[in-house]
Amino acid sequence: MPNSFQLVFLSSFVFVLGALVLLSQFINAKLNAAGYYVSDIILIGLPKENRTVTDHAPTTAVISETAGETTMPYAQLLALALAVVTSAFIYWKFSSSKRKPVLDPQVWQEFTLKEKVVVSPNTAIYRFALPHPEDVLGLPIGQHISVAAEINGKEIVRSYTPTSSDDNLGHFDLLIKAYELGNISKHVSLLKIGDNIRVKGPKGQFNYHPSLSRALGMIAGGTGITPMLQIIRAALKNPADRTKLNLIYANVNPEDILLKKELDELAAKHPSRFEVFYVLNNPPAGWTGGVGFVSKEQIEKHMPPTDENIKILMCGPPPMMNAMKKYLAELKYPAPRTVSKLVDQCPAMITALAPMIGMWAPVKSDRLRAYKACLQKYSPLLTISVSHSVRKMSSQTTTTPRAPMKELNESGGWSSSHTSSEANQTHPDFSDEEADVVLSSQEGILFRIHSIILKMSSSWFRTLFTLPQSSKTEQTASAMSQEVIPMSESADILEVLLSMACGKEIPISRLQSIDFIEDLLAVAEKYDMPGPSSIIRLSVSLTHVRTHPIRVYALACRWGWTEVARTASSHTLHMDLLDKKWAGELRLVGSADLARLMLLHRRRRDYLRKELDSAERFYANVVPGKCTGCNGDISHFRWHALKYAWVAVLEERPILVAEKDLLERAELLEVLDSKCPRCQKSLYNAESTLYNLRTILEQLPTDVEFEEDTARQ
């Protein structure tokens, strides 16, 4: 397709040529009418015998008429043919010759920031100018570029996928979400208009084309939408492309959904070819999309049916990708293609999206076993068993083959490995060679830590280390350092627990899962670690009490956190506990604690009913009813309807009472507008009625009562 400049050139050429032809015809006609002939003017100075003009009749130099037809001489036909051929050649030359793509996979080039469009508080589209307004970036669909910058004296390189295409001349766009701990993302967010970045590319093995497959399934998380959007745009704008596209897009909060408006518009414009399904970890009220993590069931429902002629593309944090691969394999989908590694775009993305992706395979330990171990934490049998395991492990010879271990791969997940190299089996955050204790997780990951830390933070380990140990003469220091204490907990649990004990930076993202919190708390109690237990309690009371009030209430009652239990119970006031959707969570609450919670909701209903029936508060409850104006008998049926409606709402839709929306209901407006049918005097004082009703709502019980509360009363 010709560009705008070529179209302007062609149209102007045709216009000028046509104008000249018309002008020449007009001048020729005027000269003929005045008695001047073009042939005479052109042939001045030549012998008259060579002229072909006779009696100044119309000549073949201009027009000759034969049998009523007007024909043009051969010379003019030749000139016109030459003009058409020249125009066609010029058009072909300009339209077929494209400027050479700017990208060079071997050379770093600098591009200037020309515009910044803010998408969200920490996300923006950055537009960088190419050297010439007619330049194209030259990036194949499905590939990405490298962006480099020198940060704190180090060369940092990350990969990004432009949201623009080669149809956009003179610039390219990058959608980047800035993170406080990010490198390139933070660097780009601080750029000013006119600053430069260094780019090299293209990179990647994937290259999209219309005949790639019958359908494409896409799974994206966070800014992993950028390579997907590149493919979606290219496929939908090509009328010859019939590929069907299905997208699952996962985020934490609604404001994290990038370019949602464009995605929705594309889905509405191409309903038969493009479908998008959103998943949120923290959905708003009335949300109709997915909730929590991307599940196997969502993939089965929203991805195209599996066969040999479809492909699955993914882009997101590595833990999410690992979980998705597992689900896809179980559903018999072909092996997915990872369009872009999100870890390249920003390592902090893993932390930012962790609430949305969780661990994707959260630890689901046997709680009965955990509680049993907790009760046995001081059991001599348990201590002897662990001590025996340590001695048995240290007595093994070096020729004993080791079981397949796991190592921490570069993407942050645990992957299987058959190497016996200890360096590859050690957690990178707990790899101090001077540490005198080595703990081994359930997967075989090693954690090197100083015994003094375990003694100070755990009574269980303090008791273990005070048991009789083998003498130093029986084992060298090297042999002692190789003793490994096997633990029944997973590496994820040990990482968080030991980080709390050592004062290291706590991976907060792990604490976003309430299931993980429960398992972590059970382990902290098992090894009698009050410090980590306090941190967990603080995390629960700050983050989960609003999103999972029943689960937090059950935890708080189980571990004796009275204040946290009160706070959690107050966050259940908007919930109808008799709704079957809460049955699963209510099973986790002990019978006595469940009775307290149900009693709280019953106390609220009884208090509301009692106060609404109070004759001291409301004149309408006085029997018989009399009008204060004419002293005639009146019926307070609207007031009684209001009382019935409010009590029913408290039982069926408690959220309206919790948020005091009752004051805006129609029943109250009808009461305040009631007048005596005889004297038309208002039956109720609006100001005092509203004041009393508001006071009742504010004085409703807000939290559960424990025995100490009853004793104080």
Q: Each residue of 228-252: pLDDT tens digit? A: 999 999 999 988 899 999 999 998 8
392 is in an annotated binding site: no
Which whole-number Å values give the CA distances from 127 to 69, 176, 585, 605, 701, in the listed order? 62, 11, 49, 59, 56
d(CA 420, CA 440): 14
Q: What number is the average pLDDT over the span 308-316?
A: 86
pLDDT above 70: percentage of residues in the chain: 73
160 is in an annotated binding site: yes
Q: Sign of torsion, CA 549 552 558 561?
A: negative
Comparing 11-25, 216-230, 390-404, 450-464, the range with the smallest average pLDDT is: 390-404
Q: What number is the average pLDDT over the span 102-115?
A: 91
pLDDT of residue 105: 85
Q: Are 182 and 346 in contact (CB under 8 A)?
A: yes
d(CA 234, CA 228): 10
Residues recognised as catalytic:
144, 160-161, 315
226 is in an annotated binding site: yes
pLDDT of residue 529: 86
184 is in an annotated binding site: yes
CA torsion angle for 332, 335, 336, 339 (degrees, to 10)? -170
pLDDT of residue 162: 92
Per-residue confidence at 281, pLDDT binned at 50, 70, 90? confident
Q: Which of 487, 511, 488 lies closest to 499 in space, CA to CA?
A: 511
Q: What is the CATH number of domain 215-346?
A: 3.40.50.80
User: Would you say residue 566 has pLDDT above 80?
Assistant: yes
pLDDT of residue 483: 66
175 is in an annotated binding site: yes
d(CA 362, CA 319): 11
Q: Are 351 and 313 in contact (CB under 8 A)?
A: no
pTM over 0.85: no
Q: Between β-strands 484-486 and 144-151, what pairing exists: parallel, antiparallel or unpaired?
A: unpaired
426 is in an annotated binding site: no
The per-residue pLDDT of the chain, averaged, comes to: 75
Q: Where in the chain is the domain with CATH 3.40.50.80?
A: 215-346
pLDDT of residue 634: 82
Query: Between 11 and 661, where is the model more confident?
Result: 11
Q: What is the CATH number of domain 109-203?
A: 2.40.30.10
Q: Which of 572, 560, 574, 579 lies closest to 597 in space, CA to CA?
A: 572
User: Rounded to a whole number, what is the largest CA-CA distance in the chain?
Assistant: 139
Q: Where in the chain is the domain with CATH 2.40.30.10?
A: 109-203
CA atoms within 13 A on the CB side of 549: 18
What Rg, from alpha-carbon coordinates, does the chain have? 40
Alpha helices in 365-475 (DSSP H): 367-375, 380-394, 422-425, 451-457, 459-465
User: Would you say residue 428 has pLDDT above 50?
Assistant: yes
Per-residue confidence at 220, pLDDT binned at 50, 70, 90? very high
pLDDT above 90: percentage of residues in the chain: 14
d(CA 430, CA 496): 11
H/E stretch holding 700 reads none
Comparing 330-344, 487-501, 564-578, 667-681, the range with the smallest average pLDDT is: 330-344
Query: Between 452 and 470, where is the model more confident?
Result: 452
User: Would you say residue 584 has pLDDT above 50?
Assistant: yes
d(CA 494, CA 488): 10
Q: Are 534 and 520 in contact (CB under 8 A)?
A: no
pLDDT of residue 302: 93
Comparing 264-278, 303-317, 395-409, 412-426, the range with the smallest average pLDDT is: 395-409
Query: Between 669 and 36, where is the model more confident?
Result: 669
d(CA 171, CA 180): 27
